Amino acid sequence: MALVVQGMKTAVTGTDADSIGHGLGRLGQAPVVVDGDELDLIEVMERGGTLGLVHIGPGEAKAMHAYADQCRDLGLEFSADPGDLEGEEAVEFLTGAKFLVTSQDRYHLLQATTGLSDHELLERVRVRVTTLDQDGVEIAGHDVDRIRVPSARAREVIDPAGGREAFAAGLLAGLGWGMGLRRAAEVGGLLTAIASETVGPQGYAINPVEFVQRLEQSYGPAAAAEASAYLLPD
């Protein structure tokens, strides 16, 4: 079953919000980058409009919980990256999230400190999206088939440090366009590769035509055709 979030405006929070916002902007979106001291999502929406998805990234634990609590109270969909949260604190934070986005190492740490199995964690979130370094991405959930998306082809890896933020940006961009999870993860995979070809998490730029061509090289013509509808509308 494809899980999509149609035509949504995305907000990003946490210490990586600027870098994720950079990636979203490079893909033609206008995310709401929430300042770390601004904890009231109602005020954020009064200025920028209704939010379709809030990505809550690593940051101060108090702020992370505040955003998650507000999303649950307001009925907002949210994507959770628990970062360094462990144990019951992590479980409390991520419960009710639409997407749990982590690296494989962080996901294993989450399981170890919470004592929860993969199945038990998936009872608390709808879908998990787990990056596997050079092995790509795994997507699993109770209402989606398990998906493995391979890594995109990088021309030359210069600085892999910004890969996590770039993947999140590409994933959120794809979901914002209304793509299914596989396609959104493919966009995230290619943005990860492009980010690794420059220095720093915000050192890259995007040529839409070239981006679509590279999507086809890594993921095939169907992926390129779907992305071109958003990146090359004319």
> Which CA distances in Å does 170 have to 19, 38, 175, 177, 218?
11, 25, 9, 11, 15
Give me the domain span that covers residue 49. 10-229
- 1 pLDDT tier (thresholds 50, 70, 90): very low
- Helices and strands: H and E segment counts in the chain: 10, 8
- 110 pLDDT tier (thresholds 50, 70, 90): very high
Per the listing, tokens 């420059």 go with 198
Distance CA 186, CA 223 (A): 8
Q: What is the pLDDT of residue 145?
A: 83
User: CA 195 from chain center: how many Å?
Assistant: 15
Q: What is the pLDDT of residue 20?
A: 96
Q: What is the pLDDT of residue 6?
A: 41
Element (H, E) at 226: helix 221-231
Instruction: Confirm whether 160 is domain-assigned.
Output: yes
Q: Per the confidence metrics, is the pTM higher than 0.85?
A: yes
Instruction: Confirm whether 118 is domain-assigned.
Output: yes
Q: What is the pLDDT of residue 90?
A: 97
Mean pLDDT, rounded, for 178-203: 94
What integer best gives the mean pLDDT of the chain?
Answer: 92
Instruction: Confirm whether 90 is domain-assigned.
Output: yes
CATH of the domain at 179: 3.40.1190.20
Instruction: Confirm whether 4 is domain-assigned.
Output: no
Instruction: Confirm whether 234 is domain-assigned.
Output: no
- 7 pLDDT tier (thresholds 50, 70, 90): very low
- 8 pLDDT tier (thresholds 50, 70, 90): low
Instruction: Confirm whether 3 is domain-assigned.
Output: no
Instruction: Confirm whether 2 is domain-assigned.
Output: no
| Number of domains forming the structure of the chain | 1
Radius of gyration of the chain (CA): 17
Q: What is the pLDDT of residue 4?
A: 36
Instruction: Confirm whether 196 is domain-assigned.
Output: yes
> Which CA distances in Å does 90 have to 27, 75, 115, 121, 130?
31, 20, 11, 11, 16
Whether residue 46 is predicted with pLDDT greater than 50 in this model: the reply is: yes
